[in-house]
Structure 1
Amino acid sequence: MIYLSQLMGNPVLDSNDEKIGTVSDLGIATGEVFPRITSLAFMGPGRTPLMISWRKYVDTYNEDVIKLKVPSTEIRFSYLQPNEVLLARDILNKQIVDTRGIRVVRVNDLKLSDTSSTQLRLLGAEVGVRGLLRSLSPKLEQIATRIARSMGHPMQERIIAWSYMDLVERDLSNVKLSVSHKTLDELHPADVADIIERLDSRLRSQVFAQLDDEQRAGAMAEFNDDAMAVELIGGMNEK
């Protein structure tokens, strides 16, 4: 297992061990229960943003470096495809809905699984303190974990599987996020209302706008705060 935070900023070397950039992001192909990493984004010379196919070019990877199969002269760069999203840009540090626990949480890190020597898949989001500490500094996480264990209160991972994640802060309306998980419009109105009430005002309006008239009516009937319903309807009328 490896985390996104452990790959970010790592050097990217070609087959001649020449450094051609540093990792800036990973792309996934949505529509799978546990999506494959399909693209490697990195900052090239002069901080030029570049992207290549993971399957075609990545030879090995670890917490220190990503090595490619070919020399830099043979690389053909690519672009993000319509069915792809970037983990750091689109998911990390964003709010998501845990559709199993029916709650809104913040993504602190992303857990990846090496299904083969070169293939990576997204398992889920780390939403606990360990993920936050690791994103700040892996050494800080290790120190805090040791201290907590010595005090008899081990710090547990808090992972939400991709199959139970639904993004609420995104401009990805045409992207199918997963083949299996519930999305907001499939939840009970009481659960939708609870989720909306937990969001900040900007995201609250964004999520409310994604619902159809029947879903909005059902959610409003479940709000504990009548003023919130008035606020959301007012926001819709202003658009």
Structure 2
Amino acid sequence: MLLLSRITGQDVRAAGDRVIGRLADLTVLLSQPSGRLLVERLLITRRQAPPLLVPWGQVIGFERDRLTIAEDVEGGDFELREHEIRLVRDVLDTQVVDVVGQRLARVADVVLTRTDAHRLELVGVEVGFGAVLRRLQLEPLGVRVGRDVVDWADIHLTSERGHAAQLACPRSAVHHLDPRGLAALVSRVDTESATEILAVRGPRLAADVVRAAHPSVAERVLRAMPSAHAAQIVAAMSDEHAGRWRERLRRAPGRHFLRSRVWPRRRHVGDVTS
């Protein structure tokens, strides 16, 4: 098992042992045909030159504290592909939803493993206070703190890029949850993300999610949606439930609704280097 926090930050060398920069991030394409989440590219920062976004195929040697790439490496395109995310920016230290354990947790580290083909594969995230202590090298001497690793297939990202990439990728957990699972998910993400989740799953399933969710959560999400989309969801309900929701949405929201807050998602701007 390899931890992202122990891989990034190290020097990147070219053939001949010349240091060309530092490893700042790794990218993963969520829609790889094989279904395996292999590291695609490396983001390398340099002191007096633009950063490099290097394909993994340019790596000629990788150890825990030594990373070597080809001498004639090119920086490549700085635009991320449709389903591509950065592990440091979009996952590490962000909030994620464990859709199996139905909990919101902060990512203390990202877990990778080596493949037989000398690639790195993303397998999950580590959460919990023990992981924080290990990362900060503050684990008490002689005390073994258990690991809490959540499989990648069981998480939904709350960062802006991560959330969008998972919504666009049919393999992601959000596309395989039943109404109760989706209701638990939308109750743990910010309102904007919740509306996007319901929109991508369609009105009929969204209607079942509204019925399964706590009424205050369902109301918050429906009120935040464009009125036409909310009307489609209500129209997909049974006549009895549709009538109740139309009446509820016609009323002004109460004070409790106006005071409700959820964890905001991490946003970023610009290109891959931001």
Q: Same fold (TM over 0.5)?
A: yes
Distance 2:147 2:213 in 1: 32
Superposition deviation, residue 6 in structure 1: 0.5
Matches within 5 A, 1:84-233: 84-116=84-116, 118-135=118-135, 137=136, 139-140=137-138, 143-144=139-140, 146=141, 149=143, 154-169=144-159, 170-172=163-165, 175-176=168-169, 178=171, 183-224=173-214, 226-233=215-222
Q: Deviations over 1:179-218 (max 9, x none)?
A: xx6x324322122212222334454444344442122211
Whether the 8 Å CA contact 2:9–2:22 is kept in 1: the answer is yes
Residue identity in the other structure for 1:77: G
Higher relative contact order (CA 8 A, sep 6+): 1
> Which SS does the other structure have where 1:111 is aligned?
strand
Superposition deviation, residue 20 in structure 1: 0.6
> Which structure has the greater CA radius of gyration?
2
Superposition deviation, residue 131 in structure 1: 2.9
Paired residues in the alignment total: 221
Q: Deviations over 1:63-109 (max 9, x none)?
A: 323122x32xx112222444432211222233333333344333221
Distance 2:168 2:178 in 1: 23
Does the C-alpha gap of structure 1 residues 117 and 21 become closer, same or farther in structure 2, counting only changes over 3 Å? farther
Q: Which moved more, 1:184-193 or 1:9-18?
A: 184-193
Residue identity in the other structure for 1:48: P
Q: Which moved more, 1:125-134 or 1:105-114?
A: 125-134
Distance 1:172 1:117 in 2: 26
Q: Which moved more, 1:213-222 or 1:80-89?
A: 80-89
> Which SS does the other structure have where 2:223 is aligned?
helix
> Which SS does the other structure have where 1:60 is aligned?
strand
CA-atom RMSD in angstroms: 2.7
Whether the 8 Å CA contact 2:52–2:74 is kept in 1: the answer is no
Whether the 8 Å CA contact 1:26–1:37 is kept in 2: the answer is yes
Residue identity in the other structure for 1:46: Q
Which of 75, 79, 102 does residue 77 from structure 1 map onto?
75
Residue identity in the other structure for 1:229: A
Unaligned runs of 5+ in 2: 230-274
Q: Percent identity?
A: 24
Unaligned runs of 5+ in 1: none
Distance 1:94 1:203 in 2: 15
> Which SS does the other structure have where 2:93 is aligned?
coil
Distance 1:30 1:171 in 2: 11
TM normalised by structure 1 equals 0.79
Residue identity in the other structure for 2:59: V
Does the C-alpha gap of structure 1 residues 206 and 47 become closer, same or farther in structure 2, counting only changes over 3 Å? farther
Distance 2:170 2:16 in 1: 37
TM normalised by structure 2 equals 0.70
Residue identity in the other structure for 2:111: K
Whether the 8 Å CA contact 1:30–1:175 is kept in 2: the answer is no
Residue identity in the other structure for 1:191: G
Does structure 1 residue 26 correspond to structure 2 residue 26?
Answer: yes
